[in-house]
Amino acid sequence: MKLSFLSIFSFLLLFTACNSGESGSSGISPNGFEYEFHLDKEGAIAQPGEYAYFQATMRNGEEVTLDSRSNPVMPRVLIPSPSAPANGRPSAVVEALSLMSIGDSLTVFQAVEEGTTPPPGYNIGDKIAFDLVMMDIKTEAEYQGEIRQQQEAGNAAAKAIKDKVATIVADYSAGALDDQIQTTESGLKYLIFEEGTGAQAVAGKQVSVNYFGVLTNGNEFDNSYKRGRTFDFPLGAGQVIRGWDEGIALLKEGGSGVLFVPPSLGYGAADKGNIPPNSELIFHVALEKVN
């Protein structure tokens, strides 16, 4: 599957130890980024090799173009060593985080310069404002422990879903679901288990989905649960297969169901390795968030 806050943030990292300042103080970072503290807890700052967990708002003037709080996964980044070789343009966000302790908030500015590719919603000459709040700082061991816990929880959830999907595949193959399945004009077949009570998924909205995908023979080819996080993408932007852009739009936040995606709405004749050419795909999907 295939842009979420995290994917845009990753782009910004490519686009692009000290003492934290006093509340309201401002300055220039080592790589020339202007910053201004709004709150300084005067605690231990993030050290190289540690992971900074943070929330961020990205602004063009007063216009908010991105807010990490709309994403179910909090952004985090590894604080690099000051002696580490630079990989392209330095990141204003990472450099600012290296000045912060837990509870600190600041704004750091980065100009969109000639010769760079502006992020969506910006032009050459604009000044991007990143409003950052440091939520937590974790060591490598703490970070890896968190990842293991997420994977274990995801594996448990995946097992429960896998058993459910196996029953659905067997019933589907036997024709036992024929009177329950609905079909769209494009040929997408679907079952709705829970319609959801939240916002409707519509084109242009950012959605967060958990999924479990199998072939009609029951062979699993992918699932989001094993990664311990949802799959996030802008609906209707062509970032996923057509069957998903159409099928997820049938749900509201909190809804779940099964999509039976024909090859014409999936990967067609392309060979995707564990997905053979011209495969019908079966997805158990749960719409966790609509932003």
- Would the pLDDT of 7 be above 70? no
- Would the pLDDT of 21 be above 50? no
Instruction: Determine the pLDDT at residue 249.
Output: 97
The 10 Å Cβ neighbour count of residue 212 is: 24
Residue 145 within any structural domain of the chain: no
Please give the C-alpha separations between residue 15 and each of 3, 11, 50, 138, in angstroms, as whole numbers: 16, 6, 22, 25
Average pLDDT, the chain: 88
Q: Are residues 75 and 202 in the same domain?
A: no
Q: Are residues 157 and 278 in the same domain?
A: yes
Please state the separation of Cα 66 from the chain's center in Å.
13
Question: Do residues 111 and 34 make contact, with C-beta atoms less than 8 angstroms apart?
Answer: no
1-15, 74-88, 119-133, 254-268: lowest mean pLDDT where? 1-15
At a CB cut-off of 8 Å and minimum separation 6, what does 191 contact?
Answer: 168, 177, 180, 181, 182, 257, 258
Q: Is residue 192 annotated as part of the catalytic site, yes or no?
A: no
Instruction: Determine the pLDDT at residue 20.
Output: 39
Q: Are residues 125 and 160 in the same domain?
A: no
Q: Is residue 271 annotated as part of the catalytic site, yes or no?
A: no
Q: In terms of Cα–Cα distance, which of 123, 120, 107 is closest to 56?
A: 107
pLDDT 10s digits, 24-40: 688 998 888 999 999 88
Q: Is residue 33 annotated as part of the catalytic site, yes or no?
A: no
Q: Are residues 85 and 171 in the same domain?
A: no
Candidates 79, 241, 248, 275; catalytic one: 241
pLDDT 10s digits, 160-188: 899 999 999 999 999 999 999 999 999 99
Instruction: Determine the pLDDT at residue 28.
Output: 92
Q: Is residue 222 annotated as part of the catalytic site, yes or no?
A: yes
Candidates 130, 172, 211, 225; catalytic one: 211
Q: Are residues 184 and 260 in the same domain?
A: yes
Instruction: Determine the pLDDT at residue 84.
Output: 60
Query: How many domains does the chain contain in total?
Result: 2
Q: In terms of Cα–Cα distance, which of 59, 25, 196, 77 is closest to 127?
A: 59
Instruction: Determine the pLDDT at residue 6.
Output: 47
Candidates 9, 37, 54, 267; catalytic one: 267
Residue 95 within any structural domain of the chain: yes
Q: What percent of the chain has pLDDT over 90?
A: 68
Q: Are residues 166 and 249 in the same domain?
A: yes
Instruction: Determine the pLDDT at residue 2.
Output: 38
Instruction: Determine the pLDDT at residue 99.
Output: 93
pLDDT 10s digits, 106-165: 999 999 988 888 888 899 999 999 999 999 999 999 999 998 888 888 788 888 899 999
- Would the pLDDT of 11 be above 50? no
Domain containing residue 280: 153-290
85/276: higher pLDDT: 276
Structural domain ending residue among the three candidates 138, 172, 201: 138
Q: How far apart are the C-alpha atoms of 231 and 221, rounded to whole Å?
A: 15
285/229: higher pLDDT: 285
Instruction: Determine the pLDDT at residue 24.
Output: 65
Q: In terms of Cα–Cα distance, which of 109, 4, 91 is closest to 52?
A: 91
Residue 144 within any structural domain of the chain: no
- Would the pLDDT of 239 be above 70? yes
Question: Do residues 106 and 16 make contact, with C-beta atoms less than 8 angstroms apart?
Answer: no
Q: Is residue 241 annotated as part of the catalytic site, yes or no?
A: yes
CATH number at 218 reads: 3.10.50.40
